[in-house]
Amino acid sequence: MTEDLPQVINFIPPGKLRCVVTGQLRTDRPEEHIRQRVARSLIEDYGYSKEDLEVEFRVRIGRSRRAADIAIFPPDTDHRQENVSIVIECKREETKPTDRENGIDQLKSYMSACLNCQFGMWVGSELQVWERVGSDQGLHEFLSATDIPRCGSNAPTPPHFSDLVPAHEELIAVFKRCHNYIYGNEGIQKEPAFQEFLKIIFCKVYDEDNLVDQLKFFIGNNERRSDIGRRHLRNAITGLFESVKERYPYIFPEDAQIQLNDSVLAYIVGELQRFSLIQTQADVKGVAYEQLVGSNLRGDRGEYFTPRAVCDMAARMLLATFPSSRLLDIQVLDPAVGTGGFLVSLMNIWQKQIYQIELNRFNDNIDQAIDGTKRRLQDIASRNLFGIDFNPILVRAAQMNLVMHGDGSTNVFQANSLIPFGEWPNQSPNDARSGIRPNSFDAILTNPPFGSNIPIDDPHILEQFELSRVDDDGKLTLSRGSMPPEQLFIERCLQLLRPGGRMAMVLPDSILSNPGLTFIRRWLLQRTRIIASIDLPDTTFQPYTGTQTSVLLLQKKTRREMNLEMEMGQLRNYEIFMATPEAVGHDRRGKVLHLRTPSGDLIEHIENVPVHRKDENGRNTIEWRETTRRMVHNELPEIASHFEEWLSQPAMRTWINNA
């Protein structure tokens, strides 16, 4: 789409970033990134003009002057200290409100020195808002508040749905602050804290999706300060959660309750209430949510969750092997679903395809196209997406991820994918045995847990698999006492895949190159056609593990194909797409890796992007927003594009149409 193309390209010298308020270059520091995210939100979400903001405004306190991070002034007033209406202080994420030099007291000192300053916001390990209230004696006190007012208002008001704003990169920090606040103020461990936060996210999404009159997911400044106000909020959120349990009985049991105390609940609602999770772009939600899950559950039992870039590439490549007429009808399974990243990537591709279909169907009527896309995506995902995971915490995490992206959560089951099919649970709502059957899936996308430190040594499990008994010549003469799970997952996935079906799987490079694993490669070549092999960069799963991995894309052969090759006494020759990308979007420490010029300058695009919103009458509209985006050094989208071009060759197209 031409509107998505870059309009302006800037080059940022190393160690610098561009201020969204002034356009000037500033030193690249962690707290500066936070300040820039807050400043962008003040402009895009709260409606303040750049002309009414000042960065590092000098505030006189006694005989000294100190720089407030951001000062907000009423429109058309001089930027003098007596005219400051709101002060913002931004700190590193690890800075606590009680910090002696950089905590809340610093913010309050700025507010006290600015005679007409009514609100202040402090952003660090928490987000705190304070309102200055005067007394009859001319003194003032500071009262905790939920939020600063939007431009043109004197105080936060209950929002209409059209007032909610899509979240951007700041959603990662918001989710992290909310989870850490629960963890730090409820006296519970990180995993239970995550589960409680998950309940609140469900309530938030449900409230947006089922709005009748006024949003219930809201607490004002006065309500947050009073015991009665916080109790009213609890009643509202409890009511939402009861509705959530009715809609998703397969996720939450009937007796589930929100365990947060009233003060913590008020904080979480205050952090989330101005955003619309439904209207937030899918990739923003996915990254924020998966980072939250990964920071709490990563690494247990070999669980290293697949980076979004890998999920997107694998999903694109797998779908490219199917005729376009079938793309919305294929049934897809991830038997090691984790947080649901592969299925979400698939849904994002489907969503874009469906939207174009609906836009053409309704003659470019955006309102009808968006509503039609939502309905069709929910229906297609509910019929065609399936997942399994052994970890019940991850099952719920995947279900929530799918709910936020359009649903498809009904077919995610808790089960050990490697035990015999007849032993899979079959009690509703976790009826994996009926929902997932052998030889029935068109496609499988997965990244199984792998590692020699989690071997499968149960003879009852091993005896199901030929790979536990096959030798280098393909004869079933051995009896291996244990095997790493990823090796067994290869065979289990083929058992679940229908003849002719496709599979994209992340595997350790040892399976593709270790001389001691020749038997796996020979067994695999006899039963599948290798379509593509992508050797992933060694940074892909760092900093959590340095395991070298590849994405293997293959097609399960039919019995007729295998018999024909046996009669010929050899495998048929065919082309294989191979690539070795050098960058996956992050470095060895897990930090985002940006593109740079040969001189080291960052490449920054200023572009207009579409934001789907609902207006005050409930109609779907598109707003175009100017946004600044640094180019990420991620070569995987390019790999997917080259693969699609390779498949477009006449010979390859003939094979695809006949597959």
Three-class secondary structure assignment of 257-277 = CCCCCHHHHHHHHHHHCCEEC
Does any domain span residue 611?
no
The share of the chain scoring above pLDDT 90, in percent, equals 55
pLDDT in tens, 127-184: 999 999 875 556 788 998 888 998 888 777 767 787 788 888 788 889 989 998 998 8
Q: Given this model, what pLDDT does residue 614 score?
A: 66
- Nearest residue to 95 (alpha-carbon basis) of 30, 17, 145: 30
- Stretch 499-521: mean pLDDT, rounded? 93
Task: Give the structural domain span for 535.
Answer: 299-590+636-658
- pTM (predicted TM-score): 0.86
Tokens of 422: 């007849």
Note whether 248 and 363 are same-domain residues.
Answer: no
3-class SS of residue 623: strand
Note whether 346 and 456 are same-domain residues.
Answer: yes
- Stretch 451-468: mean pLDDT, rounded? 88
Domain end residue (candidates: 98, 126, 156): 156
Note whether 342 and 209 are same-domain residues.
Answer: no
Note whether 316 and 402 are same-domain residues.
Answer: yes
Query: By the 8 A CB rule, do 90 and 34 touch?
Result: yes
Does any domain span residue 50?
yes
- Stretch 79-97: mean pLDDT, rounded? 94
Note whether 338 and 483 are same-domain residues.
Answer: yes
Note whether 382 and 499 are same-domain residues.
Answer: yes
Q: Given this model, what pLDDT does residue 295 score?
A: 65
Q: Given this model, what pLDDT does residue 425 score?
A: 94
Note whether 581 and 437 are same-domain residues.
Answer: yes
Does any domain span residue 365?
yes
Residue 160 DSSP symbol: P
Element (H, E) at 60: strand 53-61
- Nearest residue to 327 (alpha-carbon basis) of 398, 404, 380, 382: 380
Give the torsion through C-alpha atoms of 268, 269, 273, 277, to 10 deg: 60
Query: Confidence class of residue 333 from pLDDT cuts 50, 70 and 90?
Result: very high
Q: What is the DSSP string of 202-269?
A: HHHHHHHHT-SSS-SS---HHHHHSHHHHHHHHHHHHHHHHHHHHH-TTTS-TT------HHHHHHHH
Does any domain span residue 23?
no
Note whether 125 and 176 are same-domain residues.
Answer: no
Note whether 437 and 582 are same-domain residues.
Answer: yes
Mean pLDDT of the chain: 88
Does any domain span residue 137?
yes
First and final CA of the chain: distance in angstroms?
31
- The CATH number for 131's domain is 3.90.1570
Core vs surface per residue 258-279: b (16+ CB within 10 A) or e: eebebebbbbbbbbbbbbbbbb
Question: Does position 551 have pLDDT exceeding 70, yes or no?
Answer: yes
Q: Given this model, what pLDDT does residue 299 score?
A: 47
Question: Does position 298 have pLDDT exceeding 60, yes or no?
Answer: no
pLDDT in tens, 349-382: 999 999 999 999 998 888 888 889 989 999 999 9
Note whether 579 and 430 are same-domain residues.
Answer: yes
Domain end residue (candidates: 108, 124, 156): 156
- Stretch 520-534: mean pLDDT, rounded? 94
Does any domain span residue 88?
yes
- Stretch 63-78: mean pLDDT, rounded? 94
Note whether 137 and 208 are same-domain residues.
Answer: no
- Stretch 264-285: mean pLDDT, rounded? 88
pLDDT in tens, 92-124: 988 999 998 899 999 999 999 998 999 999 999
- The CATH number for 467's domain is 3.40.50.150
Does any domain span residue 457?
yes
pLDDT in tens, 602-637: 888 777 777 766 666 667 777 777 777 788 899 999
- Stretch 245-252: mean pLDDT, rounded? 91
Question: Does position 35 have pLDDT exceeding 50, yes or no?
Answer: yes
Does any domain span residue 496?
yes
Q: Given this model, what pLDDT does residue 474 score?
A: 77
Domain end residue (candidates: 227, 242, 276): 276
Note whether 112 and 236 are same-domain residues.
Answer: no
Count of structural domains within the chain: 3
Least reliable range by pLDDT among 228-242, 490-504, 531-545, 645-659: 645-659
Q: Given this model, what pLDDT does residue 9 score?
A: 78
